[in-house]
Amino acid sequence: MGNSSAPPKQFLSDKVGFFTESVIRDMTRQAALYGAVNLAQGFPDFPAPAEIKLAAQEAIAEDVNQYAITWGSKNLRNAIARHMWECQGISVDPETQITVCCGSTEAMISILLATCNQGDEVVIFEPFYENYGPDSILSGAKPRFVKLRPPSTEDGEWTFDARELRAAFHSQTKAIIVNTPNNPTGKVFTRAELELIRDLCVEFNVLAITDEIYQHILYDGTQHISIATLDGMRERTVTISGMSKTFSVTGWRVGWTVAPPATTNAIRKVHDFLTVGAPAPLQEAGAVALAMPASYYLSLAEGYRKRRDRLMPALTEAGFRCFHPRGAYYVMTDISGFGFVDDVEFTKYLVKEIGVAAVPGSSFYRDPKNGARQVRFAFCKKDETLDAAATRLRKLRK
């Protein structure tokens, strides 16, 4: 018999006290609640390519319905290796260097669990994709943030201070997370910036974990560079990518890691016990998707360029200051002109009174104060959706 006067037992780990639920995904629920146009979460509201949907249907009909090999179907691993070679000139052994996961989300946590010990530090640029903070905590690592500073002009680039980055590296640093093209800023890291990161990784013997999920979504002539292609980085890089953004199938949950064999072995062990494997028929469709011609990727980027150029003037007209994205499908904005207390109050007003859901900037920063003047909009939406948002946003002017 328990002691009835004892306080009710809390069956919670300490870890979960250190982070909140995803603000991005909560905004999607709020959009549904208030009937708002959802420019919060980064998922397309237009159809995925017909040929890959057909490939998934065929795989199910052909009974590819049991567990795939835990680290990924051979067809998909071969296709990923071919894609890495064609896009980046990186040659990869599909047998020993690729792990297919349930999205790049699972890829990131599997990598961190496979590489970090308690007390290790992971350098993260902020603002950051919100999963990286909790991922570090769950893996026992301590996130160490380095600021990306917004441009001072409409057309400028987000930058970091090389001295601040260097100061973040020391003997406890295990890894740095690089996300290029970047969510939420739209920054595409330049070769010079990646070389600077490379030099620090080599000097301090640090692993680069690079989230390249938006690798094909680039604007204004920018070029995507995988840090693994830089001299000295192949042996100390884990590259993450996936199907979600490139093929407009965020619900399929297929992503992957590319890493040297010893790191891959460790990632595969974690992945196996976390999820066993990604959906088998969708992996087969992934192999078909990755065989699409180069023209597919060009029209993907051009489609997003048009959407960006449709939404940005509407945001500017409504009173936002936009930071011009060079890649990915988000616009970070400055909301100082509206006179709200902070980003959270503003996005609440936006979703309830104006009918548009966006993501408060603070969710991309460790200290909410740093994002209190910023709000992120996703433009991976149909023209009608963007136009409906623009019409509603005009009300902000009144």
Ligand X SMILES: Cc1ncc(COP(=O)(O)O)c(C=O)c1O
The helix or strand, by DSSP H or E, that contains position 35, with its residue range, turns out to be none
Tell me if 104 contacts ligand X by CB under 6 A: yes
Mark the segment that binds ligand X (CB under 6 A) among 70-78, 103-111, 279-287, 353-361. 103-111
Does 325 bind ligand X (CB under 6 A)? Our answer is no
Query: For residues 105-124, which are near ligand X according to CB under 6 A?
Result: 105
* C-alpha span between 27 and 298 (Å, rounded): 31
- For the chain, report the end-to-end CA distance as a whole number of angstroms: 65
Q: How far is the CB of 208 from ligand X (least distance, A)?
A: 15
Per rule CB under 6 A, is residue 255 in the interface with ligand X? yes
The least CB distance from residue 31 to ligand X, in Å, is 16
Tell me if the bond preceding 184 is cis, omega within 30° of 0: yes
Verify binding: residue 134, ligand X, rule CB under 6 A: no
* Spatial CA neighbour of 377 closest among 389, 365, 395: 389
103 binds ligand X (CB under 6 A): yes
Gap between the Cα atoms of 239 and 212, Å rounded: 7
| Residue labelled with tokens 């890691």 | 257
- Decide whether 38 or 318 has the Cβ nearer to ligand X: 38
Within residues 4-63, the interface with ligand X by CB under 6 A covers 42
* Cα–Cα dist 375/342, whole Å: 10
Pick from 312, 314, 306: which is nearest to 324 by CA? 312
Q: How far is the CB of 148 from ligand X (least distance, A)?
A: 13
CB of 209 to ligand X, least distance (A): 11
Residues in the chain: 398
Nearer to ligand X, 173 or 248 (CB): 248
- Report CA-CA distances (Å) from 203 to 97, 149, 164, 199, 231: 24, 25, 16, 6, 13
Binding status of residue 179 toward ligand X by CB under 6 A = yes
Note whether 258 binds ligand X by CB under 6 A.
Answer: no
By CB under 6 A, tell whether 211 contacts ligand X: yes
Q: Which residues bind ligand X (CB under 6 A)?
A: 42, 103-105, 129, 179, 183, 211, 213, 242, 244, 250, 255
